[in-house]
Amino acid sequence: MLANLSEGDLRLLRVFAKVVEAGGFSAAQIELNVSQSTISTHMTALEHRLGLRLCQRGRSGFSLTEKGQLIYQASQRLFAAIEEFRSEAGAARGCLVGNLTVGIVDNLINNPACRLHDAITRFNARAPEVQIGVQVGSPTEIERAVLEGRFDLGFGACGRHSPYLTYDDLFEERQVLYCGRGHPLFERSGEVSVSDLKGQQFARRAYAAPNKLPSGVRFSSTAVADLMESVAVFILSGRYIGFLPTHFAQQWVTQDLMQPLLEQTLGYQNPIYLVLRKTEQKKPILAAFLGELQNAHRAVAASEPGKKPRKAAE
């Protein structure tokens, strides 16, 4: 049984965590950049050190044992504590050190209202030793990762709100219904009525999204998409209609490959939230980044007369 925790043990635990998050040895190979046999050797060594069977692996697939699940959860708390110590030790000597992971929904950076890149510019100039990670995922994936502590913060359009997370409305993106070239409504897109939408095949979101459809309008949903890019693929097929952010769809509208439908009637402003854990005791790195994030968006709002700056969590 593990008596003293060494640097080698930490490395084994990090391999174990990557395997769990990837869902198995094979999937973890790419993330860890090592062979499956090496991963197996590491896992066997960790199980020997702990005196526990952590997982089942074989033809039936990969699964954690009950004790393996407990070790994984404990390892996440351990990694968070180590990161918090590094951050606070750096702050004590007037230097921000550690890691910061940001989750964003796809194609967010195309939105002119998103100033994440400006915040990173400011933050990196202030804290060049901090390693920043940006990962793209669906709103559901981002919320889960923030909740589990794998992401420090996230940006997303969230249809349902978790009671364990805070959601600050940071900026907006306009969502409009589109059809693609070859769709029955494409050539007369400017004359379409709400009744024309009944029975149309609709590419729906795999995650909770606002329902902005008029009463009585029902789409036949035979396509499911978890990212905006996936919705665009279905629309471009000419067989489906679906909602996209205007800043993302404009490239295809310009090429006459997509046309908006009932933009004034069905178009809506969708808030993009800054997502944080409610119980988060903001480490110095996160607090500093949130400050730069707020400054970056405040600067944009100040350049637009009549627009009030939105407030990021502090």
Q: What would the mean pLDDT of 14-21 be, rounded to a whole number?
A: 89
Q: Pick the more confident residue, 183 or 169.
A: 183
β-strand 153-156 against 98-104: which pairing, if any? parallel
The architecture of the domain spanning 174-269 is 3-Layer(aba) Sandwich (3.40)
Average pLDDT, whole number, for the chain?
Answer: 85
Cite the residue boundaries of each domain of the chain with CATH code 3.40.190.10: 86-171+271-302
pLDDT band at 215 (very low <50, low <70, confident <90, very high): low
Q: How many residues does the chain have?
A: 314
Cross-strand partners of 201: 220
Long-range contacts of 116-124 (CB under 8 A, 24+ apart): 116/155, 116/293, 116/296, 118/296, 118/299, 119/289, 119/292, 119/293, 119/295, 119/296, 119/297, 122/292, 122/295, 122/296, 123/288, 123/289, 123/292
Q: Pick the more confident residue, 296 or 1.
A: 296
**C-alpha to C-alpha distance for 148 and 76, rounded to whole angstroms:** 8
Give the DSSP H or E segment for 146. helix 139-148
Closest CA to 165 of 280, 77, 272, 83: 280
Closest CA to 240 of 290, 208, 202: 202
**C-alpha to C-alpha distance for 60 and 78, rounded to whole angstroms:** 30
C-beta separation of 184 from 286 below 8 A: no
Q: What would the mean pLDDT of 206-220 be, rounded to a whole number?
A: 66
Q: What would the mean pLDDT of 254-259 be, rounded to a whole number?
A: 97
Cite the residue boundaries of each domain of the chain with CATH code 1.10.10.10: 7-83
What confidence tens digit (pLDDT) does each residue in 49-93 have? 899 899 887 766 788 999 999 999 898 888 878 877 877 777 676
pLDDT band at 259 (very low <50, low <70, confident <90, very high): very high
pTM: 0.70
- The CATH homologous superfamily for domain 86-171+271-302 is Periplasmic binding protein-like II (3.40.190.10)
Instruction: Say whether pLDDT at 268 is over 50.
Output: yes
**C-alpha to C-alpha distance for 172 and 314, rounded to whole angstroms:** 20
- What percent of the chain is predicted at pLDDT more than 70? 87
What confidence tens digit (pLDDT) does each residue in 202-212 have? 998 877 665 56
Cite the residue boundaries of each domain of the chain with CATH code 3.40.190.290: 174-269
Predicted local confidence at residue 24, as pLDDT: 86
Q: Pick the more confident residue, 287 or 309.
A: 287
Out of 57-61, 107-111, 266-270, pick the least confident: 57-61
CATH class (in words) of the domain with range 7-83: mainly alpha
Give the DSSP H or E segment for 270. strand 268-277
Between the alpha carbon of residue 129 and those of residues 210, 219, 269, the distances in Å are 40, 51, 38
C-beta separation of 96 from 288 below 8 A: yes
Instruction: Say whether pLDDT at 307 is over 60.
Output: no
Token representation of residue 155: 């940006």
φ, ψ for residue 289, nearest 5 deg: -70, -40
Give the DSSP H or E segment for 258. strand 258-261
Q: What would the mean pLDDT of 225-244 be, rounded to a whole number?
A: 93
Q: Which residues of 45-56 are buried (b: 16+ CB within 10 A; e: fewer)?
A: ebbebbeeebbe
What confidence tens digit (pLDDT) does each residue in 25-39 have? 888 888 788 888 899
**C-alpha to C-alpha distance for 64 and 53, rounded to whole angstroms:** 9
Please give the span between the terminal C-alpha atoms of the chain, in angstroms, as a whole number: 43
